[in-house]
Structure 1
Amino acid sequence: MADIQHHTLRRVLRREIAGTIGLLTDEQDFRTMRNYRSFAFDDHTTYLQQVESLLRSLAAQGSHTTVALFDPVEYAEYCAESGLEPDTPSSRTRFTAHLAATGPTVPYDGQPLAELVPDLVDEAVRQATWEYATTLLARIGTCATCGEDIGRASFIRAAHLLTRVVDTAGPGSLHLVCSVSTAPDTLVAVLRVEERTDDAIRLDESEALEFTTVLALGIATRSAGGLVMRTTTPDTTDRVYGWRLRGENLDPLTASEVFDAYCTDIESGDLVSPESGVDYGTPPDLGDTGEGTHHTH
């Protein structure tokens, strides 16, 4: 009887354990992992199907599972730095636990893997963008004239501008895109504001941090950039408008400039078909946007 009770209690405790699966989303990464003899799979499609079946099984048992992006290059570096033999399941498990604490993850909520994978890749890009922008801001250093930290001052300025943009927007949910031209790539950040009241704004704090950091980098480096926002209200035509980043300020774009910006693919530069029922217009007045940092270095 005691053994049965202990077995039952252990089974109950398993439901209290959260797990993480390191997922090889890319077929090339999958082929790299096949170089390890202890890696049992030889077909990427079959591998993804088995992962999805496992996720469904764990969810049916009441377990909470997150999915992390497994990068073979990072895995090899992790094993080398940690003194681990990479060709063992236990090393892959330890690396996955490391990813759960430090890397991008997406919770499994029953969605198909075909929907989860793009979200996971987007999360990885978001984190990489934020880390890159943060590093560049930190490297700028202090103002040679007054000694102020330029990165910090630019971040404060960016946060103030973002607050003005959100506060002056019309009713409805907001979708904001900020792009800043930096060498060698253009950095892009997205912020969604799902719900707003007179007293509070509901948004993803991680998205807001990344968005503000990218905007701050544009301010600090005086890079070309812009901000485009789409407002959505039930039973009303969506509105799209935006601003050009000029130094430390946001200058309003004309309706035609907004149309061109919104209907051009940021990465390829190709034209994108405009949506019907969308009003491309000029933005509202941001009012007093305050003093800039005045750093010209």
Structure 2
Amino acid sequence: DLLGPHDGAAQLRELGRETGGEGGPRGGPPPQPVALAVAADAADFACLSRYGMFGPATYEAYLRRTESQLRALRGQGLEVHLRVLEPADFEDFCEEFGLGPEDPAARVAYAADPELAGEPFVYGGERLGELLPALVEDHRARVRISIACTALLAALEGDEWPEPRLTAVLGHVSELYLALAAGAGEGCHLLTLRTYGPEDGEELTAAAEVCAEDGRLFVGGREAEAFCVTLAAGIAADGAGELLLHSVPAAGRPPLVCGWRLLAGRLGPMTVPEVFAALADDAVRGVGLPDGVAARPGFPLPGRPAECGPRRAADGGPGRPGAGASGAGEPGEAGGAEV
């Protein structure tokens, strides 16, 4: 935990004096947020206990003490940002920065690590035991975003004009996401994605729920962000992969799955056998194959604009964005123009 097993009350009083309570120092800026990394399950707690960071407390006692500290910090007017304290990741972090895992400063630095992508998870006064599942899901999505962002930036390396290409890729992904939501129709549906780089690239996975009611789209929060960044990485890298849309069946109808193949960074409909093959592969991975599922090729999606690919001048070298391209598409796509 943030403050250690024995010194919570005194440090909270001191922290309140330093920050000036709810208003911060008199006449000064508001207090900075406090970051806290939490052991999210008993197994992680046991693994980290060997560093003596929790004292002799049981996991249940640790949760109660941490919750008390969280509420006290919030009562001081401080915004508290939470993240999961993962043993292996924490140990790697400490080794990278030359910190001792038993040092409380190491936990504070890890909790505030800016390398974890996405907006922070803000504590709102909830019971910690009830909040942990949501924190874990949020953490997993932020990890996926971090990994996908790294892959996306790597795909842009070597471009003379990476910023316009990045803008084009992200715009195309937004267009695809909205097209998938519109094509899925009313109700809640699950999008699952698996992508690979063009040459034995790292496998990236993501899943997001998309819901529509009375024509209104409800975005799936951090999971949707992870899905979109992962898809952007596959598109920018000219990668391969699979995208499946799992629709919740209406009464009396079987589950329906539509599929698209990602090939050279472009999405195209799968055949029905390919959809079943992808579902069987998911079943092997432990996802599970629905009983009586119906498969269908994916419906038409917007083609990848030429601006999403590396720019080349007429002589084969790098070219300025927009040079020699109409932006309508790429070779082999409907409405495409050769660059």
> Is TM (by shorter chain) over 0.5?
yes
Measured after TM superposition, the shift of residue 25 of structure 1 is 3.8
Q: Which residue pairs with 1:124 in the alignment?
A: 139
- Aligned equivalents of 1:187, 1:101: Cα separation in 2: 18
Deviation per residue, 1:59-114 (Å, 9 max, x gap): 99998987521143266369858xxx86565x37744763699676486855856x
Does 2:304 match 1:295? Answer: no
- Give 3-state SS (helix, strand or coil) of 1:285's partner: coil
Q: Which residue pairs with 2:94 in the alignment?
A: 76
Kindly tell me: are residues 257 and 79 of structure 1, through their superposed partners in 2, closer, same or farther at Cα, counting changes over 3 Å?
Answer: closer
Q: Which residue pairs with 2:177 in the alignment?
A: 162
- Give 3-state SS (helix, strand or coil) of 2:289's partner: coil
Q: Which residue pairs with 1:153 in the alignment?
A: 168
- Aligned equivalents of 1:201, 1:75: Cα separation in 2: 39
- Give 3-state SS (helix, strand or coil) of 2:282's partner: coil
Measured after TM superposition, the shift of residue 257 of structure 1 is 1.8
- Aligned equivalents of 1:231, 1:109: Cα separation in 2: 33
Q: Which residue pairs with 2:7 in the alignment?
A: none
Kindly tell me: are residues 167 and 272 of structure 1, through their superposed partners in 2, closer, same or farther at Cα, counting changes over 3 Å?
Answer: closer
Give the counterpart letter for 1:162 in structure 2: Y
Q: How does 1:68-107 map to 2 (within 5 A)?
A: 68-71=83-86, 72-73=90-91, 76=94, 87=102, 91=105, 94-95=108-109, 98=112, 105=121
Give the counterpart letter for 2:240 in structure 1: A
Gaps of 5+ in 2: 1-15, 23-32, 312-339
Under a length normalisation based on structure 2, what TM-score does the superposition of the two structures give?
Answer: 0.61
- Aligned equivalents of 1:121, 1:184: Cα separation in 2: 27
- Aligned equivalents of 1:250, 1:70: Cα separation in 2: 37
- Aligned equivalents of 1:59, 1:147: Cα separation in 2: 42
Kindly tell me: are residues 161 and 93 of structure 1, through their superposed partners in 2, closer, same or farther at Cα, counting changes over 3 Å?
Answer: closer
Equivalent of 2:192, from 177, 184, 202? 177
Q: How does 1:246-261 map to 2 (within 5 A)?
A: 246-261=263-278
- Aligned equivalents of 1:122, 1:75: Cα separation in 2: 21
Q: How does 1:194-273 map to 2 (within 5 A)?
A: 194-198=211-215, 200-232=216-248, 235=251, 237=253, 238-265=255-282, 269-270=284-285, 273=288
Give the counterpart letter for 2:171 in structure 1: I
Kindly tell me: are residues 58 and 202 of structure 1, through their superposed partners in 2, closer, same or farther at Cα, counting changes over 3 Å?
Answer: farther
Q: Is the 8 A contact 2:51 2:101 kept in 1?
A: no
Measured after TM superposition, the shift of residue 166 of structure 1 is 1.5
Q: Is the 8 A contact 1:242 1:282 kept in 2?
A: yes
Kindly tell me: are residues 211 and 232 of structure 1, through their superposed partners in 2, closer, same or farther at Cα, counting changes over 3 Å?
Answer: same
Under a length normalisation based on structure 1, what TM-score does the superposition of the two structures give?
Answer: 0.68
Deviation per residue, 1:142-182 (Å, 9 max, x gap): 645x7764333222222222222211223211211111114
Measured after TM superposition, the shift of residue 28 of structure 1 is 5.9
Q: Which residue pairs with 2:5 in the alignment?
A: none
Deviation per residue, 1:190-227 (Å, 9 max, x gap): 111233332x3111343333222111111111111121
What is the RMSD of the two structures over their aligned residues, measured on CA atoms? 4.2
- Aligned equivalents of 1:100, 1:53: Cα separation in 2: 27
